[in-house]
Amino acid sequence: MKQTPTHPMHSARRLLAVCFAVLFAATATIGAAADDNLSKLQQENEALRQQNAELQRRFAELEARLSGAAQPAPAPAASADEPAAPASGAAASRLAPAPEDPGVVMLSAFSVTGEKDYGYLKTNAATATRIGMEIQQVPMNISVVSREFLDDTNTRSLMDILRYTAAASGDNRYAMRRPGNESTPQGAFTMRGFAVNTLMRNGVFRYISYNLDNIERVEVVKGPAAVFFGQGYPGGVVNYVTKQPAFTKTPSTFKYSINDNSGHKVVADINLLLNKKAAFRMVGAWDDTQGERRFEFRRNVNLTPSLTVIPFDSGKLKVNLELEYLDESFNQNDYDWIWSDFDGWKAAALANPGRVANSGGQTPSLSYAAYINSRRAATGDYTLPAYTSVERGAYYTDASGKFIHDEAFNYTSRGARTMNEVKVFTTTVDFAPFDWLEGRYVLQRDNSRFNSIEGITTPYGDGIHWNVGASATAGYYRDTTAHQVDLIFKFETGDIKHKLLTGFNHSKYYQNFYSHDIRLNPFYGHVPGATNPIANPGYGTTGGTQVPDNLVGEGRGHDTGVPTTNAVVRDRDGNIKLVKAVYSNFDPGFEVYPTIDKLFPNGRAWLDGYKPINIAAYLNYQAALFDDRLNIIAGFRRQSLEEKGQYLMSNYPWYIVPVDAWKDPVKYPANEWGYGANYIKTLRVYKKEADAWMGGASFAINKELSVYASVSKTFQFNVGNVGGVFVGNEIPIVQSALDQNGGSFQYLGQTITSTSQFVDIMTARGGYNPLKDETGMNWEFGAKLSTEDSKIVGTISFFRGERTNQMLDDPAAQSNLEEPLNYNTTLFAPGTLGYNTRVFRWRTTDLKNRIEGSEAEVIWTPVPNFQAVINGSWLWTAKTVYDKTRAKPGSTAYNNLSAAAKVASDIYYGARIENVPEYRFNAFGKYTFTGGTMRGLSVGGGMRYSSSTVVSRSVDWNPLNGGYQAGDYLVFDLTFNYPWSVGGFNFRTSLGIYNVTDEDYSEGSFVLSPQRNWLLSNTLEF
């Protein structure tokens, strides 16, 4: 088997990189010479447009006087033959609600317009401060990904956004993960070395499905932004800004795309200017695509209609109503061939007498982990990694007996899928009643439903058989109502301009969690063989041992009604397989791939329901001094999180549990109503409060260069206690130990004679103490450059980020050695309460991780028809400073560890934190031909580099001794775009080729990224 290359710079990629650099360097010179006349023509056209606009404005004023009412002047239309120029106001006109008119107050405080905006360049952002302001004046690192850039790079997900983002790293396993929330991230992707859980849509938290079809731009704020968005990690915030109805004649588009895997996608974007006071926009998409792996698919239908109304001629009120509907399902590969020493495993497995149940005594049961552990013990080398390489697809024995490499193998079990349904209604009201006051109110109802069927298919050691995992189904249903109010007070004192933003946020969501009923699922009653006495021994006589007779699904012939007893699955030797062995002992080289959705036909159990209430108030002050050269910003946020009980329907419609049922156990017995009083009192009745703050300043040294510095703090709520116990559950277990040991027992050197004594001891140990909340800090300084001609706009920053008090399990404290009640088999008799169970799940927050580094981004526009985004980062520190659960090398605790435990600590403290590349460098540029037969053709190219990243700081992936690491890649992308017309209709054809050199690489995990792929699109404008 081939080994994965350890360095990405083989000759073909080196040649491409050199050519790419030469192309970028030569573009300015070539473009300047070719477009000298073009620049003069553009200047003349710009002067004519300004004259035209002035004439139209004067005409509008005259018409208004004659008619007695002011009428807005129409925006001048640019010629279709004229290429856009960086200094054009087209972007601003497109985003503004109406052309400016004397006497009309434009609502600009929350908008993100910019006269210099052009192509990839966006000079304003609202995410960092909630107020639309120039990025150059904000003392934070902000990147804006434009719609044009999203299209050119075929960005379809958060993973794709991070591919061209400095100081960030994606996660190829992200898609199949369960959703995160305000407290937990989804997936292992990082920004500035920390997980990201603050994913917003128009500044409001989004639970699932970050759809990009209706997005105008994506704003990425590096570092904590908790003052405006609440609890979060110190890595940053990602905010999706949607397309809004435009009060200009914006072309509607219809786009059809196909990819290299026969996938199809249609996107329609229709904007209607209803009248001068109302505009409507509809964005819709249909997606039916396949992946490069067998059984991968994505099906998506989404619609986003929105209506904007400006009811008064004054323009002081704007109302936007938006509805988003999305229904999607997908299956994506979630594993790859990581068994680096498969030959050794196979030899050991076949020699080992252990065999897999239901395999007819043929399939060896020795696991790869057990094999590697035996090698470590035999050699005394406890640093030996289990996984040193990763290959695409899988190896197995085909029907002819040949051991083959199947690159299309999908480890996500057939029939597994993620399903998202989103229904969101948002009302946004912008108002400006006075010159000194502007505000925004947002009401959002978000009804989101996540469902999944989960399972991974993994090999046994014989090279033939695999286990088709059908591990679980899950349902997370969340209904959120969010209210958000922002008020901006503006005033001046002397030469100082002041802005005071105060805001209030109230968010309440009702969330339910469902899981499969373990007594009914997995359900094998519909698997071939369920009605066959060989495949299901005892069926029809003594009762089936694989599937009980009363659980066998209907298996009759549709015309005769005769039971289909001979509908079975046979192995490659012709033997009838046991029903469960169809999955647990699958032979991909010979048998039909089983689908696991057949095993979960039944409804799920409603396990939990809760209704957290988030309330926050925040204050942000901004001041501009010395002719706006010095900008100061400071903010503070106070947030509370409260729950008042468990919201559970244990058996609908008969048992709908009142939220305070636990307070009256006589009326609502727990063994009848299905709640846990101690669980509720510990985790579902509480109120917590925390603060976030930030401060910073930006100073313009001259018109082009400014410097800035900032410091900020964020937080995460940790709910629960240090002992990890539902307070009260330990009492009957202690009583059980007393009853079985003559009224007393030994506990950590003390003789326990009563439950109250035990409670006193546990109180003294701090087991009932609440967990400390997590905090994050970021210190940052940098510089921002924006040349007067906007040809170079960029930011460089240096930062330190720290994450403290992360809640972790404490394995040592949970062990029987340190917690005698846990897993105890001597104090308790088998079958009695407390026997061999974990009573206390000890946790710790004694932890600090630190990231230090620098990052830079430049948007380069040397000539009007060429633009490039170039960014990179160097994170020289990515380490754990301390962690109570791990003994630090050199400490007394470390010296007392076993050899294997010392290795674990060496790796943990000696390796970089997971998924934090030391170096990132990305560049993407696009050149548009402006003359000759190639006029209008755009050619774009991108390159993405990442140094290696640690998959896991564990001995299995030991990065200090040759264990596999992700990253370490150099990848190239190409795009082509050409406009054309036929029959009076305007079309644009785009071709994107991604991963041009067909590099095998992985991002953030051991799952390999897509191979070379292409996307062809045709867009109709009308």
pLDDT beyond 60 at 66: no
How does residue 206 score in pLDDT terms, banded at 50, 70 and 90?
Answer: confident
| Alpha helical stretches, state H, 483-596 | 581-584
The amino acid occupying position 683 is L
What residue type is assigned to position 692 of the chain? A
Check residue 549 and give its pLDDT: 86
How far CA 725 is from CA of 501, 665, 720, 729, in Å, comes to 42, 21, 8, 7
Question: Is 908:953 a contact under the CB 8 Å cutoff?
Answer: yes
**How far separated are the first and last CA of the chain, in Å rounded?**
54
Please give the average per-residue pLDDT across 780-799, as a whole number.
94
- pLDDT value at 669 more than 90: yes
User: How sure is the predictor about 540, in pLDDT bands with cuts at 50, 70 and 90?
Assistant: confident
User: Alpha-carbon distance 798 to 139, whole Å?
Assistant: 12
Q: How high is the pLDDT of residue 359?
A: 86
Of 71-75, 166-170, 362-366, 642-646, give the lowest mean pLDDT range: 71-75
Tell me what pLDDT residue 184 has.
73
Q: What is the pLDDT of residue 574?
A: 94
Can you read off the two tokens belonging to residue 448? 């989101």
Would you say residue 199 has pLDDT above 90? Answer: no
Q: Is the pLDDT of residue 604 over 90?
A: no
Q: How far apart, in whole angstroms, are the C-alpha atoms of residue 292 and residue 802?
A: 39
Contacts 24+ apart (CB under 8 A), 259-266: 259/289, 259/1013, 259/1014, 259/1015, 259/1016, 260/1013, 260/1014, 260/1015, 261/289, 261/290, 261/291, 261/292, 261/1013, 262/290, 263/287, 263/288, 263/289, 263/290, 263/298, 264/288, 264/289, 265/289
pLDDT at 559: 54
In this predicted structure, what is the pLDDT of residue 554?
63
Query: Of 30-44, 93-107, 552-566, which gets the smallest average pLDDT?
Result: 93-107
272 or 3, greater pLDDT: 272
Q: How many CB atoms lie within 10 A of CB 792?
A: 14
Nearest to 264, CA basis, from 282, 284, 290: 290
Closest CA to 579 of 556, 541, 548: 548
Residue 108 pLDDT > 90: no
Q: pLDDT at residue 9 above 80?
A: no
In the numeric block, which tokens belong to residue 365?
């049961």
Number of C-beta neighbours around residue 1013 at 10 A:
18
Contact 404, 398 (CB under 8 A): yes
Confidence of residue 606 (pLDDT cuts 50, 70, 90): confident
> Which of 186, 188, 209 lies closest to 198, judged by CA?
186
Report the residue count for the chain: 1022
The H helix count followed by the E strand count for the chain is 16, 43
Per-residue pLDDT tens over the stretch 737-772? 999 999 999 999 999 999 999 999 999 999 999 999
pLDDT at 452 over 80: yes
Higher-pLDDT residue of 239, 651: 239
Distances (CA, A) of 293 to 247, 335, 1012: 45, 11, 13
Residues 550, 564: Cα–Cα separation, whole Å: 16
pLDDT (0 to 100) of residue 984 = 87
Pairing type for strands 264-275 and 705-716 reads unpaired
Average the pLDDT over 602-610 and give the result.
Answer: 76
Question: Domain 68-242: which CATH class?
Answer: mainly beta
| Strands of 202-249, DSSP E | 204-205, 215-222, 236-242
Q: What is the pLDDT of residues 867-892, one digit of tens each?
A: 999 999 999 999 999 999 999 999 99
Which DSSP category does 135 fall into?
G
What pLDDT, in 10s, does the model give residues 239-282?
A: 899 999 999 888 999 999 999 998 999 999 999 999 999 999 99
What is the per-residue pLDDT across 939-995, written as a single tens digit (0 to 9) for each?
Answer: 999 999 999 999 999 999 999 999 999 999 999 999 999 999 998 899 999 999 999
Round to whole Å and give the CA distance between 540 and 528.
16
Sequential DSSP letters for 712-770: EEEEE---SBTT---TTTHHHHHHHHHHHTTT-EEETTEEE-SHHHHHHHHHHHTTTSB
The verdict on domain 257-334+414-517+608-1021 having CATH code 2.40.50.100 is no
- Residue-range domain boundaries for the chain: 68-242, 257-334+414-517+608-1021, 530-575
1014 pLDDT more than 60: yes
d(CA 117, CA 370): 59
Nearest to 386 by CA among 354, 333, 344, 348: 344
CA dist list (Å): 161 to 118, 188, 978: 19, 15, 24
C-alpha 155/C-alpha 147 separation (Å) is 10
Q: Rounded mean pLDDT of 586-595?
A: 96
What share of the chain has pLDDT > 70, as a percent?
Answer: 87
Q: Look at residue 685 and tell me whether its pLDDT is greater than 60.
A: yes
Cα separation, 226 vs 232, in Å, equals 6
Answer yes or no: is pLDDT of 28 > 80. no
Whole-prediction pTM: 0.87
| pLDDT score, position 734 | 97
What residues are paired with 134 via a beta bridge?
124
User: Rounded to whole angstroms, how far apart are CA atoms 646 and 309?
Assistant: 41
**Lowest-confidence segment of 149-158, 573-582, 716-725 by average pLDDT:** 149-158
Residue pLDDT, tens place only, 211-237: 899 999 998 988 877 677 777 788 888
